[in-house]
Structure 1
């Protein structure tokens, strides 16, 4: 029996206008929640984070619907259910002491596929 290959997953993350509408003094809890979400993804069973990219230095303001996104997390994930659990962290991660969740301030889209390998026999 062959071992199942992980699903190569690109989590595409957009920061929404609600974040930019906050006074500067109130963004700290959102960043802390964002860090909690990132740690949560990395701690899901079988997840290997391959890399992250933050586009915040060259793209200022909200992301349009779709590409380009603000940040990306590339990971190998064991199955679709784990991808769903990772995305669900945006719905369930609280922001500070409020009744708000992270998805008020950012959204995620997960793209799943297989690892593309460079042919060695060319």
Structure 2
């Protein structure tokens, strides 16, 4: 019997920009983008996380994503376990944007699955 390392989880982080972001004065928007940068870097740097790709709908979608679909942006990644996925989502709760947290401006949902293998 061969010891096989567990396969990483395939995770799609779906992000939605909320109305609170659009209600900000122009001078305050940069603070949110700094928070987004911190969140993205934090996810990328979690142990065992490999970002496979990103997609941003901001050029063809204007406004909020209140109903969950379509989302504003996506991050496709591999993560070693569910706790790591939870840690990634936690950045939305902990990254500070002024006196608030990032989740005031952006909502996240993580879809967890496995790699869909395409037969040869």
How far apart in 1 are the matches of 2:99 and 2:38? 16
State how many pairs are aligned: 118
TM-score by length of 2: 0.96
Map 1:74-89 to 2 at 5 A: 74-89=76-91
Which aligned runs of 4 or more in structure 1 are off by greater than 4 angstroms? none
User: Which ranges of structure 1 fall in alignment gaps of 5 or more residues?
Assistant: none
Task: Kindly provide the CA deviation profile for residues 79-119 of structure 1, in whole angstroms up to 9, marking residues without a partner as x.
Answer: 00000000000000011xx2211000000000000001111
Map 1:22-37 to 2 at 5 A: 22-37=24-39
How far apart in 2 are the matches of 1:39 and 1:65? 27
How far apart in 2 are the matches of 1:26 and 1:44? 28
Aligned to 2:119: 119
User: Which ranges of structure 2 fall in alignment gaps of 5 or more residues?
Assistant: none
How far apart in 2 are the matches of 1:65 and 1:102? 19
RMSD between superposed Cα atoms in Å: 0.6
TM-score by length of 1: 0.95
